[in-house]
């Protein structure tokens, strides 16, 4: 994430579609998530996302149907791009953490795969 830093601190910058590899059509955030809660646990067929920990930290696990990879997000100047076709799970939220999500599409329930077995079948087809 672009930032401007000086003796007074840091300023994170988002302008138009920069630094995104997709146009932004939706922005939302998760906060006050209990440390033992699990969020996400779904995949998207078409949606691209960029996930940023604007405060605190949390883990994002991505699963493409064959391989699972874990990422720790803990800084507002670094984000994780999630292309379509990945099962994503967010967990291990620290106290006071906030996840900011930039999405390429508006909310569309038909783009979600919410059942893991259906996701595996879809991913392997």
What are residue 13's phi and psi, to 5 degrees? Answer: -125, 130
Distance CA(110)–CA(112), nearest Å, equals 6
Distance of CA 99 to the CA centre of its chain: 8
Say if residue 19 is preceded by a cis peptide, omega within 30 of 0. Answer: yes
Two tokens, residue 46:
């078409």
**Active site residues per annotation:** 42
C-alpha distance from residue 65 to each of 52, 83, 85, 104 (Å): 24, 14, 9, 22
């Amino acid at each position: 994430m672009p930032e401007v830093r000086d003796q007074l601190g840091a300023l994170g910058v988002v302008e138009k579609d920069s630094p995104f590899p997709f146009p932004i059509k939706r922005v939302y955030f998760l906060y006050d998530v209990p440390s033992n809660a699990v969020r996400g646990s779904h995949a998207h067929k078409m949606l691209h996302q960029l996930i940023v920990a604007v405060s605190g930290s949390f883990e994002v696990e991505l699963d493409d149907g064959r391989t699972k990879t874990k990422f720790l997000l803990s800084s507002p100047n670094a984000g994780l791009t999630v292309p379509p076709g990945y099962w994503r799970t967010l967990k291990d939220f620290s106290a006071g953490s906030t996840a900011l999500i930039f999405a390429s599409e508006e909310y569309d329930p038909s783009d979600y795969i919410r059942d893991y077995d259906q996701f595996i079948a879809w991913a392997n087809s």
